Amino acid sequence: MCGIVAYVGSKEAYPIIIEGLKRLEYRGYDSAGVSILNGTMNTFKCKGKVTDLEQVIVKEKIKGTAGMGHTRWATHGVPNNINAHPHLSGDGNLAIVHNGIIENYGTLRTALEKLGHSFVSDTDTEVLIHLIEEIRNTNDLSLEEATRRALQKVVGAYAIVVLDANDPDKIVGAKKSSPLVFGLGDGEYFLASDASPIVKYTDKVIYLEDEEVITIHRNGDYEIRTIENELTDPEVQQIDLNIEELEKGGYEHYMLKEIYQQPQTIAESMRGRLSADEGWAKLGGMEQHLTRFKNAKRIILTACGTSWHAAMIAEYLFEEFARIPTEVEYASEFRYRNPIITPDDVIIALSQSGETADTLAAVKLAKSKGAFIYGIVNNVGSTIPRTTDSGSYIHAGPEIGVASTKAFTSQLTVLTLMAIILGHLKGKISEGYYRQLLSELESVPSLVAKILAKADQIKYIAGEIRNTSNALYLGRGYNFPVALEGALKLKEISYIHAEGYPAAEMKHGPIALIDMYMPVVVIATNKSAHEKIVSNIQEVKARKGIVVAIVTEGDTRIKEMADFTIEIPYIEEPLSPLLSVIPLQLLSYYIAVMRGCNVDQPRNLAKSVTVE
């Protein structure tokens, strides 16, 4: 993971870099550092967050109009001051920041040590800057040429920026499997892990491709070459991102803002894509490939984390509406088990960030086997949508809280729409049901707003169970993946151990855990298996468990049995995850806040998992 930002222009670089690092902190936050060029390489770095870094800066030394910064999520070497980036070459003249992993760093390090290099950190990154230094000095090369040649020897993933103390008018960057965006401002130029540090200054960007090296000169000349030294002719793109979208907008945390944005973000993910009144639905990315979708013998969805939970719900949707056999794969497992993929399969890759390394690797593997790949991604211009054959953006806007919330509901909206379109196309759902589903989907934003209005009630329940060490989440059918998602939300931000289970599986083991201290969150909105869920709740109550039930409005039966109930509006069961997940997001949020946890930046996590 890690966030990178670099600047060369006419302004003071340090404030721009620090502000950029704060925007990129969602990518990692266990240490941070900057290097500013002003005749010498002035580097400051420390364990902790960007605000900690600000405390160790010596103001007089960070004046300069070129520099770079880094916020780290540790891979090689514990988070401490020494392992923090930037790392320096042996002579101290070159500095590097890096996002990724150099897999063959051990071999490279040994070879460099034999040549007399010595290292101060445990990182793979320090090895790379020494390698660049070695190649440069031995062959008397320019910085970009030495970087290019060094990268030919590297196995692994990288987005890097390299600076030379003796050339303050130039920055060099490169990428492979980790993102790097070049921003072209008015007399000022940027490199960053994503566009968020850049949008304040320019909307013109170039997304670097894998194995490309960029050299940017202060006068605005730039050149992009592959590591094989071929000159490229990249397209300058205009990005549509405004700075307010990157702010908390008056909310205490990004996560809360993003939960509350869902009526708008769900509406955004449907905008221009359906009209229940007129009886149509379409996704631009599917239009050109309808025959392929219609004739698909199988759909395989691949993703990680919360996106994987959305994929699991899609399995139910595609099979129910379109009657297409559907499988869901953890991207990390998919790529390592030689999967059978045929030309009749449609692969759907889901990712909020569009950068998740495991998902990207699964996409590349499926592509190498000739599969048709459809991406469902939030982050516009990220790597996955540039690697897939077609796809749909979910248009949820920047999601900055590490715990995914609005991206999940927008992914579900798009997946539900896909399943409805396919069911209609294949004649598997009646015209009447098709229109009803479209109409109910259109009503989701207002129903979500109604649930959000119950925040105080959910906060109260959070206060009642906040001190638990464990929690169980149970759901059936469409709500089983919602139970998994609820449990993931709780564990990742509050550090409470939580498990999601299909409700009926409880009696096959987890029931042994239930006692008077165990909160059991039951998502009990299903009409189809209502009796069975009632029985499951009784089984929990018989063992004195604390039941928090999410029920459909008017369900008095469960209300009488449960310790706490949260009522949500009725909706057709296949669409119910779009509603039932909302109280679970709020419940986790309030519990985590009450426990004093950093909900936007939970320990050990990062938003974009760009390492495998």
CB-side exposure of 487: number of CA atoms within 13 Å?
26
Which position among 178, 404, 588, 601 is part of the footprint of ligand M6R (CB under 6 A)? 404
> Would strands 546-552 and 564-568 be described as parallel, antiparallel, or unpaired?
parallel
In angstroms, give the least distance from the CB of 596 to ligand M6R. 20
Beta bridge partners of 231: 225
Take residue 343 and report the two structure tokens written for it.
Answer: 């030309």
8/414 with CB nearer ligand M6R? 414
Q: What CA–CA distance (Å, rounded) separates 537 from 586?
A: 22
Residue 410 interacting with ligand M6R (CB under 6 A) = no
Cis peptide before 179 (omega within 30 of 0): no
Which position among 65, 352, 392, 536 is part of the footprint of ligand M6R (CB under 6 A)? 352
Query: Do residues 492 and 602 make contact, with C-beta atoms less than 8 angstroms apart?
Result: yes
Which range in 2-10, 112-120, 172-180, 399-407 contacts ligand M6R by CB under 6 A?
A: 399-407
In 10 A of CB 509, how many CB atoms? 9
Integer angstrom CA distances of residue 135 from 151, 158, 568? 11, 18, 64
Q: Which residues contact 91 (CB under 8 A, 6 or more apart)?
A: 133
29/105 with CB nearer ligand M6R? 29
495/517 with CB nearer ligand M6R? 495
Least Cα distance to 465 among 587, 550, 598 occurs for 587
In angstroms, give the least distance from the CB of 580 to ligand M6R. 17
Extract the runs of DSSP E, i.e. beta strands, from 58-217: 66-72, 87-88, 94-102, 156-164, 170-176, 181-184, 189-192, 204-207, 212-217
Residue 609 interacting with ligand M6R (CB under 6 A) = yes
Candidates 45, 49, 257, 607; catalytic one:
607
In angstroms, give the least distance from the CB of 456 to ligand M6R. 24
Report 490-509 residues binding ligand M6R (CB under 6 A).
492
Residue 304 interacting with ligand M6R (CB under 6 A) = yes
In angstroms, give the least distance from the CB of 527 to ligand M6R. 29
Report 508-537 residues binding ligand M6R (CB under 6 A).
none
Report 243-272 residues binding ligand M6R (CB under 6 A).
none
Residue 356 interacting with ligand M6R (CB under 6 A) = yes
In 10 A of CB 249, how many CB atoms? 11
Residue 121 interacting with ligand M6R (CB under 6 A) = no
In angstroms, give the least distance from the CB of 487 to ligand M6R. 11
Take residue 557 and report the two structure tokens written for it.
Answer: 């039966």
377/472 with CB nearer ligand M6R? 377
Which range in 318-326, 337-345, 368-376, 400-408 contacts ligand M6R by CB under 6 A?
A: 400-408
449/605 with CB nearer ligand M6R? 605
Q: Is 2 marked active-site?
A: yes
Q: Which residues contact 393 (CB under 8 A, 6 or more apart)?
A: 377, 378, 380, 385
Which range in 72-80, 144-152, 347-355, 423-431 contacts ligand M6R by CB under 6 A?
A: 347-355
In angstroms, give the least distance from the CB of 435 to ligand M6R. 32
In angstroms, give the least distance from the CB of 484 to ligand M6R. 11
SS (H, E, C) 551-598: EECCCHHHHHHCCEEEEECCCCHHHCHHHHHHHHHHHHHHHHHHCCCC
Which range in 158-166, 194-202, 349-357, 557-565 contacts ligand M6R by CB under 6 A?
A: 349-357
Counting Cβ atoms within 10 Å, is residue 226 exposed (0-12), middle (13-18) or buried (19+)? middle
174/599 with CB nearer ligand M6R? 599
What does the DSSP 8-state code read for residue 263? H
In angstroms, give the least distance from the CB of 462 to ligand M6R. 18
> Which residue is it, tokens 């999410």?
550
101/533 with CB nearer ligand M6R? 101
Residue 610 interacting with ligand M6R (CB under 6 A) = no
In 10 A of CB 244, how many CB atoms? 8
Which position among 239, 281, 402, 524 is part of the footprint of ligand M6R (CB under 6 A)? 402
Q: What CA–CA distance (Å, rounded) separates 302 from 312?
A: 9
Which position among 83, 196, 332, 351 is part of the footprint of ligand M6R (CB under 6 A)? 351
Residue 601 interacting with ligand M6R (CB under 6 A) = no
Which range in 40-48, 82-90, 205-213, 350-358 contacts ligand M6R by CB under 6 A?
A: 350-358
Report 24-53 residues binding ligand M6R (CB under 6 A).
none
Q: If DSSP codes are grouped into helix, strand and coil, which group holds residue 93?
A: coil
Take residue 66 and report the two structure tokens written for it.
Answer: 């070129």
Q: What CA–CA distance (Å, rounded) separates 578 from 219?
A: 51
In angstroms, give the least distance from the CB of 607 to ligand M6R. 7
Residue 600 interacting with ligand M6R (CB under 6 A) = no
Residue 306 interacting with ligand M6R (CB under 6 A) = yes
In angstroms, give the least distance from the CB of 402 to ligand M6R. 5
1/171 with CB nearer ligand M6R? 1
Residue 403 interacting with ligand M6R (CB under 6 A) = yes
Least Cα distance to 283 among 482, 82, 418 occurs for 418
In angstroms, give the least distance from the CB of 306 to ligand M6R. 3
Closest CB to ligand M6R: residue number: 305
Extract the runs of DSSP E, i.e. beta strands, from 449-571: 470-475, 497-502, 519-523, 546-552, 564-568
Q: Is 304 marked active-site?
A: no
Q: What CA–CA distance (Å, rounded) separates 121 from 186?
A: 38
Residue 301 interacting with ligand M6R (CB under 6 A) = no
Residue 1 interacting with ligand M6R (CB under 6 A) = no
Q: What CA–CA distance (Å, rounded) separates 109 from 515?
A: 54
List residues binding ligand M6R (CB under 6 A).
304-307, 351-353, 356, 359, 402-404, 488, 492, 605, 609
Active site residues: 2, 607
